[in-house]
Amino acid sequence: MNMNNDKKIMIRFVFIMIISLIIGGFIGFLIGGYYQELFEWSIYLSDLLITYGVFAYGIGYFLLLISTIYYFKAKSYLKALEDEINYETANKTLSKAMIFNNVAMPLMFICLGLSAYSLFDLGMISFLLIVVYIVWTLILSNVIIKSIKQMAPEKKGNVFDVKFQKDWYESCDELEKLQIGNACYKTFKCMTNIYLVSAVIICCLSYTGFISPFWILFIGMLWILQQAIYSIYCMKENI
């Protein structure tokens, strides 16, 4: 039974590899056939991102606005915590607020990178955009955590403390720690696939001269760090 299952897995693997090679060859053929057009389009897109990159802050501010709305909705539910329905609704609403706020922080660095050349043209406006963005994100994180603590007083940690994540994790019960562990594992699997796809795409672009080989080195090192850190911590858990 296991032998038949192994054969099926091997056949599926070979099939996927063949399909991947065909798709890769087709993409390479398209790139080779339309190299000049694609190269000009990549330059145009790069110039577009540089010129209008500063407006990407609008996306970040929009996410912060949504997070803030969810926070105030949760606060309205927290006024009647004795109601179990309100408790569950408040918890889910605060989770949504935290999701949008968590996404907004890395998006800020994307916006900062995209608008690097535009910053010099905007002067103080660009500086204020960055400061307001950071302050809004930090304050929102703080009030969300305080609201969660209101529902669960056993929770520990201060968002302005470098040990916040450690203190917060240690204050979680066993079920919550298991949920965090499952989420981390699923994130690891997802990011491994993302690194793989990104590496393949960047390799193709590097071979055709669209981008610098530096990018495959950058992505590759991040991938190596993820695999190494994951393996080291797994080994430590077995000791």
Which of 152, 150, 147 lies closest to 171 in space, CA to CA? 152
Domain assignments of the chain as residue spans, ordered by start: 34-171, 173-239
- Over residues 215-224, the pLDDT tens digits come to 888 998 999 9
**Amino acid identity of 198?**
S
- Over residues 13-59, the pLDDT tens digits come to 788 778 877 777 777 677 666 677 777 777 777 777 777 767 778 88
> What pTM value is reported for the model?
0.76
